Amino acid sequence: MLHSFGWDDGFMILAQIFALGTGVAEGLENKYGLGYHTWEQPKGSKVPYLQAFYASIVGFAVAMCIVKIAILFQYRRVFTVPVMQTITFYGLIFMFCWTVTSTFLTTLVCVPVAKFWDSTIPGRCLPMLTAWILYVRHLYISHPHT
Protein backbone atom coordinates (compact mmCIF):
# COMPACT_ATOMS: atom_id res chain seq x y z
CA MET A 1 0.00 0.00 0.00
CA LEU A 2 2.86 2.38 0.72
CA HIS A 3 4.38 4.04 -2.32
CA SER A 4 1.56 2.86 -4.55
CA PHE A 5 -1.02 4.99 -6.29
CA GLY A 6 -4.58 3.82 -5.72
CA TRP A 7 -8.13 4.83 -6.55
CA ASP A 8 -8.28 6.78 -3.30
CA ASP A 9 -5.32 8.91 -4.38
CA GLY A 10 -6.86 9.61 -7.78
CA PHE A 11 -10.16 10.69 -6.25
CA MET A 12 -8.37 12.93 -3.73
CA ILE A 13 -6.55 14.66 -6.60
CA LEU A 14 -9.89 15.14 -8.37
CA ALA A 15 -11.43 16.52 -5.15
CA GLN A 16 -8.49 18.91 -4.78
CA ILE A 17 -9.11 20.24 -8.29
CA PHE A 18 -12.75 20.96 -7.42
CA ALA A 19 -11.69 22.47 -4.08
CA LEU A 20 -9.22 24.78 -5.82
CA GLY A 21 -11.96 25.84 -8.23
CA THR A 22 -14.21 26.53 -5.27
CA GLY A 23 -11.48 28.63 -3.66
CA VAL A 24 -11.03 30.67 -6.83
CA ALA A 25 -14.80 31.23 -7.02
CA GLU A 26 -14.84 32.35 -3.38
CA GLY A 27 -12.00 34.77 -4.11
CA LEU A 28 -14.08 36.21 -6.95
CA GLU A 29 -17.01 36.52 -4.55
CA ASN A 30 -14.80 38.71 -2.35
CA LYS A 31 -13.83 40.81 -5.35
CA TYR A 32 -17.46 41.36 -6.29
CA GLY A 33 -18.90 42.22 -2.90
CA LEU A 34 -18.88 39.34 -0.42
CA GLY A 35 -18.89 40.87 3.03
CA TYR A 36 -20.67 44.04 1.98
CA HIS A 37 -24.21 44.76 3.00
CA THR A 38 -26.56 44.23 0.06
CA TRP A 39 -27.13 47.98 -0.24
CA GLU A 40 -23.40 48.71 -0.18
CA GLN A 41 -22.26 46.31 -2.89
CA PRO A 42 -20.30 47.93 -5.72
CA LYS A 43 -22.38 48.93 -8.76
CA GLY A 44 -22.57 46.27 -11.45
CA SER A 45 -21.24 43.54 -9.18
CA LYS A 46 -24.45 41.63 -8.52
CA VAL A 47 -24.29 39.36 -11.59
CA PRO A 48 -20.57 38.45 -11.34
CA TYR A 49 -20.97 37.94 -7.58
CA LEU A 50 -23.90 35.56 -8.07
CA GLN A 51 -22.05 33.72 -10.85
CA ALA A 52 -19.06 33.18 -8.58
CA PHE A 53 -21.38 32.19 -5.72
CA TYR A 54 -23.10 29.63 -7.96
CA ALA A 55 -19.74 28.18 -9.05
CA SER A 56 -18.59 27.90 -5.42
CA ILE A 57 -21.78 26.07 -4.41
CA VAL A 58 -21.48 23.52 -7.19
CA GLY A 59 -17.72 23.08 -6.73
CA PHE A 60 -18.03 22.58 -2.98
CA ALA A 61 -20.85 20.05 -3.31
CA VAL A 62 -18.94 17.98 -5.87
CA ALA A 63 -15.65 18.19 -3.93
CA MET A 64 -17.30 16.98 -0.70
CA CYS A 65 -18.85 13.99 -2.45
CA ILE A 66 -15.58 13.06 -4.13
CA VAL A 67 -13.70 13.23 -0.81
CA LYS A 68 -16.20 10.79 0.69
CA ILE A 69 -15.70 8.44 -2.25
CA ALA A 70 -11.92 8.67 -1.82
CA ILE A 71 -12.20 7.83 1.88
CA LEU A 72 -14.29 4.76 1.07
CA PHE A 73 -11.67 3.64 -1.47
CA GLN A 74 -8.99 4.14 1.18
CA TYR A 75 -10.98 2.00 3.62
CA ARG A 76 -11.04 -0.72 0.95
CA ARG A 77 -7.25 -0.59 0.73
CA VAL A 78 -6.67 -0.61 4.48
CA PHE A 79 -9.36 -3.01 5.70
CA THR A 80 -9.21 -6.16 3.61
CA VAL A 81 -11.59 -8.27 5.70
CA PRO A 82 -14.61 -9.37 3.64
CA VAL A 83 -17.21 -7.60 5.80
CA MET A 84 -15.46 -4.22 5.34
CA GLN A 85 -15.07 -4.85 1.62
CA THR A 86 -18.82 -5.47 1.40
CA ILE A 87 -19.74 -2.43 3.50
CA THR A 88 -17.45 -0.12 1.53
CA PHE A 89 -18.69 -1.57 -1.77
CA TYR A 90 -22.26 -0.64 -0.95
CA GLY A 91 -21.10 2.68 0.49
CA LEU A 92 -19.36 3.43 -2.81
CA ILE A 93 -22.49 2.58 -4.79
CA PHE A 94 -24.51 4.90 -2.55
CA MET A 95 -21.96 7.73 -2.79
CA PHE A 96 -21.66 7.47 -6.57
CA CYS A 97 -25.45 7.68 -6.85
CA TRP A 98 -25.57 10.53 -4.34
CA THR A 99 -22.79 12.41 -6.15
CA VAL A 100 -24.65 12.25 -9.46
CA THR A 101 -27.95 13.23 -7.81
CA SER A 102 -26.39 16.01 -5.73
CA THR A 103 -24.54 17.41 -8.73
CA PHE A 104 -27.70 17.56 -10.83
CA LEU A 105 -29.78 19.05 -8.01
CA THR A 106 -27.15 21.64 -7.13
CA THR A 107 -26.49 22.56 -10.74
CA LEU A 108 -30.14 22.73 -11.74
CA VAL A 109 -31.48 24.73 -8.78
CA CYS A 110 -32.59 27.15 -11.52
CA VAL A 111 -33.57 26.22 -15.06
CA PRO A 112 -32.09 27.75 -17.10
CA VAL A 113 -28.98 28.02 -14.93
CA ALA A 114 -28.50 31.71 -15.79
CA LYS A 115 -31.75 32.51 -13.96
CA PHE A 116 -29.74 32.06 -10.73
CA TRP A 117 -27.98 35.37 -11.36
CA ASP A 118 -30.43 37.04 -13.75
CA SER A 119 -34.01 37.13 -12.50
CA THR A 120 -35.24 38.70 -15.75
CA ILE A 121 -34.68 35.46 -17.67
CA PRO A 122 -37.83 33.35 -17.98
CA GLY A 123 -37.60 30.06 -16.14
CA ARG A 124 -37.98 28.51 -12.71
CA CYS A 125 -35.91 28.26 -9.55
CA LEU A 126 -36.44 26.11 -6.52
CA PRO A 127 -37.36 28.20 -3.48
CA MET A 128 -33.94 29.15 -2.10
CA LEU A 129 -34.84 28.52 1.54
CA THR A 130 -36.06 25.01 0.71
CA ALA A 131 -32.96 24.27 -1.37
CA TRP A 132 -30.61 25.46 1.42
CA ILE A 133 -32.44 23.55 4.14
CA LEU A 134 -32.20 20.33 2.14
CA TYR A 135 -28.54 20.93 1.32
CA VAL A 136 -27.52 21.76 4.89
CA ARG A 137 -29.53 18.82 6.22
CA HIS A 138 -27.57 16.51 3.95
CA LEU A 139 -24.26 18.02 5.11
CA TYR A 140 -25.28 17.63 8.75
CA ILE A 141 -26.34 14.00 8.33
CA SER A 142 -23.42 12.93 6.16
CA HIS A 143 -20.58 14.40 8.23
CA PRO A 144 -19.38 12.56 11.32
CA HIS A 145 -20.10 14.31 14.59
CA THR A 146 -17.54 14.60 17.35
In a domain, 135, yes or no: yes
Domain-located, residue 46: yes
State the Cα torsion 13-106-114-53 to the nearest 10°: -60
Structural domains of the chain, count: 1
Residue 110 lies in a domain: yes
Q: 146 falls in which pLDDT band (50, 70, 90)? A: very low
Per-residue pLDDT tens digits for 10-59: 999 999 999 999 999 999 999 898 888 878 888 888 899 999 999 998 99
pTM: 0.82
Contact 116, 48 (CB under 8 A): no
Greatest C-alpha distance within the chain: 60
Whether 2 maps to a domain, the answer reads no
pLDDT tens readout for residues 47-92: 999 999 999 989 998 999 999 999 999 999 999 999 999 999 999 9
Domain range for 63 is 7-142
34 domain-assigned:
yes
1 lies in some domain: no
Cα→Cα distances 13→27, 62, 63, Å? 21, 13, 10
